[in-house]
Amino acid sequence: MKLDTESAKRYLSPIYPDGWMFIALFAIAALILGSLASVLLYVGLLATGWCIYFFRDPSRMVPQGKGLVVSAADGVVDTITTVPTPAELGIGEGDHIRISVLLSLMDVHVNRIPASGTVVATKYHKGAFLNASLDKAHEDNERQYVGIKTDSGAMIGMVQIAGMISRRIVCKLKENQKVSAGERFGIIRFGSRVDVYIPTSATPQVMVGQRVVAGETILANLEAPSSAHPAEKM
């Protein structure tokens, strides 16, 4: 039987550094449970296996080209709508197109930069842990705002939003930091939503219900569509 190298890479992905502590805790819990009953050991080992899978961090082939905006998260496009620009993003007033991506517990949860540029604002907002699919999650849930001025001068933003199960948003960005499209910047533990805000002059390249991949799927092209070039692995 021929080995499918692409499938092997997918299931043998590196682990995101922040995940090792949780994997260790799951493994210890499995051993404790196993000391009580053998069947509990199997349950614990399954849970540990899931934890390893949750924190996988596969490399991605990032499309190269001026004006490209890639997905910040793995998941399914939930909504595409024009909304007032959140002041917390620091990218100006008026409206932006908001593309929301919902992540399931089985999706890769490492988040990536949607476009190369400079971070102009970061703001954390405490909140509730409602179902991330609810529209009011944008206003009520715990969330992290990030505004970016792209290399071409466009102002875009992204928001990491916690869900019912997630209890920790990790964002390692700072204001005035230079970033590259597809670069890892954080994670949301466990289950979440990520919104990307693009100018109203841009045309979304995805549809509601479409599955997207962080760092690979092009959400929009702020320049001419022909500017895309071969991808680069990150």
Provide the 8-state DSSP code for 13: P
User: How many whole angstroms separate alpha carbon 137 and alpha carbon 169?
Assistant: 14
Give the predicted TM-score (pTM) of the model. Answer: 0.82
Tokens found for residue 43: 């349950």
Question: Could you confirm whether 192 is annotated as catalytic?
Answer: yes
Residue 192, burial from CB neighbour count under 10 angstroms (0-12, 13-18, 19+): buried
Tokens found for residue 158: 């992204």
pLDDT of residue 154: 93
Residue by residue, pLDDT tens for the chain (234 residues) are 444 555 445 556 787 777 778 778 888 888 888 888 888 888 888 888 877 877 788 889 999 888 899 999 999 999 999 999 999 999 998 999 999 999 988 888 899 999 999 999 999 988 655 555 556 556 667 889 999 999 989 999 999 988 666 567 888 999 999 999 999 999 887 668 899 999 998 989 999 999 999 999 999 998 754 444 556 667
Task: Please identify which of the residues 100, 116, 166, 192 carries the catalytic annotation.
Answer: 192
